[in-house]
Structure 1
Amino acid sequence: MNTLLNQPLCVVNAGLNSFAENLKTAGGDVVALSWQPPALGNIDAGLELAQLLRHPRVEEANKVAFERYLSAQPVLTDVLSAREAIPAMNERKLILHSGPPIAWRDMCGPVKGAIIGAVMYEGWATGHQNAEQLIEAGEIALEPCHHHHAVGPMAGIISPSMPLWVIENKTNGRLAFSNFNEGLGKVLRFGANSDDVLERLRWMAKELAPALKAAIQQLGELELKPLMAQALHMGDEVHNRNAAATGLLIKRLVPALLECPLPLDQIQRCVAFITGNDHFFLNLSMAACKAMMDAASGVPHSSMVTVMARNGVNFGIRLSGTGDRWYQAPANPVEGLFFPGYGVEDAAADLGDSAITETAGVGGFAMASSPAIVKFVGGTPADASNNSRKMQQITVGGNPAFTLPALNFAPTAAGIDARKVADRAILPIINTGIAHKQAGVGQIGAGITTAPMSCFVDALQALAQEIPL
C-alpha cells in the first residue's frame, strides 16, 4: 500500500462529471467515464433487460429478423395513385401523415397545415376554415403512413389522388409506398398549402406521374439496393444527401423517358423538375428502406427495431417481436445549423418518416460515407465517421450490401437492437432537416438528433412480458 501511494495516482470517475471537475480543479489526474445506469435507472426495466440480454429465444429471433432484412430486394416496379395502391383510401376519406398516431388537436403546425392543404387538394373543402371544420367533425380520417406500408418525409402527407412510388420486395412479394418529392421551398411537406403549392401537386399527379409510370414500364424494374450502394460510394448517405443517388436515377429514367411516346414538351418539363431537385431520390430511398424493415417485422421475441418515426411532437418506434405496437416519447430536439435569421426558438420538434433510413442502416448510420454532409448538419468529417462506428455498438450486425469507403469498406451497422441501446446508453443517430414550427415557412436548418431512450425501455418491458424469463 505504501508503494502504491508513493506513485502518481489517477482517478477514474464513473458518473457525474462534476466529481471529476472538482478533482481536476484540485490538481488531480482524472479520467472521466461517460456512464449512466442502464434502462434510465428503472430498476424493474433493468432487471428485465438483464434477463433479455443473451436470452436464447431473443438471439434466435434476431437472427431470423436480421436475415429477412438482409435478404430483402426492394425493386421499383410502378407508379400508382394512393387510391389504387392503398385499399383503405377507397373506404373513407383518409389522409396519411408521418410518425406515430396523434390526434388532430395535438399535431404541430406543419402537419396541420399540410393536412389542410391535402383536404383542399382533394376538393373536399374550399378553404382552410372549411377543411378544419371537416377534420374536427371527424369526417376525414387521419392515420400514420406506417399503418399502410407507406412512408413520407417531414409531414409525410398522402391523400387519395397523390401519386406513389411502388416498391416490391422481390423476396416476399410485399409492397411499400412513398409519395413524390416536391423539391425545396414552399412545399406541402413543410405545411405550405397556398394555391401554387396545390397547383404543383396537381401537375405532379396529372403530368409527372404518368410520365414516370411510362418510363418505368419502358425501363423495366429498377433494383434500388445496388443504386443506393453505389451512391454511398459517391458521397451520399441517402437521407439528407441524395445528389449522387438522384443523378444515378436520372441516368436510368431520362433515356427511358425519351423512348416513351410522350409529347416532347411534357418530357422537358418532367426532366427539368427532376434535375432541379437533388432530393428527388429521397422518397425512393425511404420506400426501399421501408420494404427492407417490413421484411424483418413480425418475428416473435425479436428485439430488433423495425420502425423509427416522428410526427413533430412525439418519436415512436416499433419492435419486430411486438407487432404493430408503438412506443412513444416526446421527440428530442435537433442540434444543428440554422439558416440565417432562424434559431432554436423557431423550430418544430423532430418530424418525418425519413428515420426509416437510419432504421435500415443508412442515413445517420452511414455518415462516414458522406463527409460533405457535415456542412449541412454540422460537425466535422471525423464526427461523421465516429457516428458510424458508434452505431456498430447497438446493432445486430452489418449489411454487406452497403459499405463505407472511409471505414475500409466496412458494412454499415444495421438492425438496431433495443437491448443494446438500453444497456449501453447509446442512442440511434439520425440526421434530419429542421422544419419551422409554423405551417408553410419551410425548412430552416438541418442537424443531428437521437431517439428518446424511454421508447426503447418501454419496448423492452413489453417484450419481456411475452418471453418466459
Structure 2
Amino acid sequence: MNTLFNQPLKVVNAGLAGFANNIQKVGGEAIALSWQPPALGNIDAGLDLADLLRHPLVEQANQVAMERYLNAQPVLVDVMMADEAIPAMAERKLILHSGPPISWENMCGPVKGAIVGAILFEGWATRHEEAELLAKSGNIDLEPCHHYTAVGPMAGIISPSMPLWVIENKTNGQRAFCNFNEGLGKVLRFGANNDEVLQRLHWMRNELAPALKVAVRHIGELELKPLMAQALHMGDEVHNRNAAATGLLIKRLVPALLASNLPLEVMQRVVAFITGNDHFFLNLSMAACKVMMDAAAGVPFSSMVTVMARNGVNFGIRLSGTGDQWFQAPANPVEGLFFPGYGVDDAAADLGDSAITETAGVGGFAMASSPAIVKFVGGTPADATNNSRRMQFITLGSNPAFTLPALNFAPTAAGIDARKVADRGILPVINTGIAHKQAGVGQIGAGITTAPMSCFVDAIQALAQTVMQGAKK
C-alpha cells in the first residue's frame, strides 16, 4: 500500500465529476467515467436484467424476431376506406388515435381537437359542442391505431370514412394501414377542425383517394423498402425529412395517373396537392415500418421492441415477447428548435405513431444520412452522425437494406433490444415535430427526444416473468 501511494495518482472516477476535479487540481490524473446503475437503480429490475442477458431462450427468440423483421417486404398494394380495411369500423362507431391507450378526459388538446374534427367529418354531429359531448359520452370507442395494425402521425386520427394506404408484407401476407398526409398548416393531425380542414378531408376522400387508388392499381405493386433505401442515399431519413422519398413516389404516381382515364382537372388537383407536400411519403414510410415490425411481433421470450408510440401525454412501448402489453411512462420533452413566437411552454408532450420509423431502424436512427435535418431539429451534422452510431449499442443488429453514406455505407442499427437499453442507459433517439398544446394551432417546431427509461425497466421485469415461466415448462 505504501508503494502504491508513493506512485503518481491515476484514478478512474465513477460518479460525481467533482471528485475527479479535486484529484486533477492536486496534480493527479483522473478520468471521469459517465456511469449510472442499470435499470434506473431498481434492484429487482437489475436482477431480472442479469437473468435475461445471454439467456438462451431470449437469444433464440431474438434471432427469430430479427430474421422476420429483416425478411419483411413492405409493398404498397391498394387504397381503401378505413371501414373497408378495418372491419371493426363498419360494425361500430370507432375512432383510432396515436400512441398507447388513453381516455378522453386525459387526452391532450391536439388529440381532442382532432377527434372532434373526425366526428364532424363523419357527420355524427353538426356542431363542435355537440361533437365534444358525443366524444365525452362514451358512445364512440376511442382506441389506439396500433390495436388495428394501423399508424397515424401526430394525433393519428383514423375514422371510418377516411382513406388509408394499404401496405402488405409479401413475405407473410400481413397488412398495415396509415391515413393520408394532409400537408402543413391547419390540419387535423394537429387538432385543427375548422371548415377548411373538413373540406380538405372531404376532397381527399372523394377525389384524391379514388385517383390514387387508380394509380396504385395501374402500378400493380410498389416495393417500398428499395424506395426508402434510395431516399436515405438522397438526404432523407424518412421520418422528418421525406423530400427525396416523396419525389421518388411522384415519379411512380404521375405516369400512372396520366395513363388513367381521369379528367384532366382532377389529375391537376391531385398532382398539385402531392407535389406541394414534401411530407406526403411520411405516412407510407410509417405503414411500411409498421408491417416490418409486426412481422417481428409475437415471438415468445423476445426482448425486441416492436412498437414505440406517443399520445401527447404518455409514451408506450411493446416487446415482441410480451404480446399486446403496453409499458408506459410520461412522454419526455422534445429538445429542438421552435418557430418564431413559440417556446417550451407552448408545446404539447411528444405525440404520434411516427416513432415506428425509429423502431424499424430509420428516422432518428438514420440521421447520419440526413445532415440537413439538423437545420430543422437542431444540433450539428456531427450530432446526427453520433446519434446513428450510438444506436448501434442498443440494437440486436443492423439492416443491410438501409445504408448510410456518411458512415461508409454502414447499415442502420435495427432491432432495439430492451435489455441493452436498460443495461447501457442509452435511450432510443427520435426526431419529431412539436405540436402546440392547444388544438388547431399546429406545428410550432421540431426536435429530438428519447423514449423514457422506465418503459424499458417495466418491460424487462414483465419479460423476466414470462421467461421464468417458460423455463419451468
TM-score of the aligned structures, taking structure 2 as reference length: 0.97
Which residue is 1:228 aligned to?
A: 228
2:19 and 2:305 mapped to 1: Cα distance? 36
1:3 and 1:203 mapped to 2: Cα distance? 83
Which residue is 1:157 aligned to?
A: 157
Which residue is 1:250 aligned to?
A: 250
1:127 and 1:31 mapped to 2: Cα distance? 65
Which residue is 2:325 aligned to?
A: 325
Corresponding pairs, count: 469
**Contact 2:58–2:302, Cα closer than 8 Å, also in 1:** yes
**Contact 2:8–2:28, Cα closer than 8 Å, also in 1:** no
Q: How does 1:133-152 map to 2 (within 5 A)?
A: 133-152=133-152
Q: 1:429-458 CA distances to partner (integer Å, 9 max, x unpaired)?
A: 000000000001111111110000110111
Q: 1:268-296 CA distances to partner (integer Å, 9 max, x unpaired)?
A: 11101000000000000000000000000
Which residue is 1:240 aligned to?
A: 240
**Contact 2:346–2:436, Cα closer than 8 Å, also in 1:** yes
RMSD of equivalent CA atoms: 1.2
Which residue is 2:336 aligned to?
A: 336
SS in 2 for 1:465: helix
Q: 1:191-226 CA distances to partner (integer Å, 9 max, x unpaired)?
A: 000100010010010110001000011111000000
2:277 and 2:335 mapped to 1: Cα distance? 25
Which residue is 1:448 aligned to?
A: 448
- After TM superposition, the structure 1 stretch with the greater mean CA deviation from structure 2, 193-202 or 11-20, is 11-20
2:446 and 2:461 mapped to 1: Cα distance? 33
Q: Which runs of 5+ in 1 are unaligned?
A: none
CA 1:268–1:454 in 2, change beyond 3 Å: closer, same or farther? same
Which residue is 1:203 aligned to?
A: 203
1:445 and 1:28 mapped to 2: Cα distance? 46
**Contact 2:431–2:448, Cα closer than 8 Å, also in 1:** yes
Which residue is 2:289 aligned to?
A: 289
1:416 and 1:70 mapped to 2: Cα distance? 13
1:24 and 1:183 mapped to 2: Cα distance? 55
Which residue is 1:102 aligned to?
A: 102
Q: How does 1:180-191 map to 2 (within 5 A)?
A: 180-191=180-191
| 2:170 is the alignment partner of 1:166 | no
Q: 1:63-106 CA distances to partner (integer Å, 9 max, x unpaired)?
A: 00000000000000000000110011011111000000000000
2:29 and 2:371 mapped to 1: Cα distance? 35
Equivalent AA in structure 2 for residue 218 of structure 1: H
CA 1:176–1:37 in 2, change beyond 3 Å: closer, same or farther? same
Per-residue deviation at 1:31? 1.7
Equivalent AA in structure 2 for residue 156 of structure 1: G
Equivalent AA in structure 1 for residue 153 of structure 2: P
Equivalent AA in structure 1 for residue 359 of structure 2: T
Which residue is 1:121 aligned to?
A: 121
1:362 and 1:329 mapped to 2: Cα distance? 23
Per-residue deviation at 1:32? 1.4
| 2:419 is the alignment partner of 1:419 | yes
Which residue is 1:13 aligned to?
A: 13
Equivalent AA in structure 1 for residue 146 of structure 2: H
SS in 2 for 1:466: helix
- After TM superposition, the structure 1 stretch with the greater mean CA deviation from structure 2, 14-23 or 166-175, is 14-23
2:21 and 2:138 mapped to 1: Cα distance? 56
SS in 2 for 1:300: coil
SS in 2 for 1:333: coil
Which residue is 2:375 aligned to?
A: 375
2:241 and 2:30 mapped to 1: Cα distance? 40
1:7 and 1:250 mapped to 2: Cα distance? 69
Q: Percent identity?
A: 83
- After TM superposition, the structure 1 stretch with the greater mean CA deviation from structure 2, 361-370 or 10-19, is 10-19
SS in 1 for 2:430: strand
Q: 1:322-346 CA distances to partner (integer Å, 9 max, x unpaired)?
A: 1000000000000111111111111
1:46 and 1:186 mapped to 2: Cα distance? 46
1:403 and 1:22 mapped to 2: Cα distance? 45
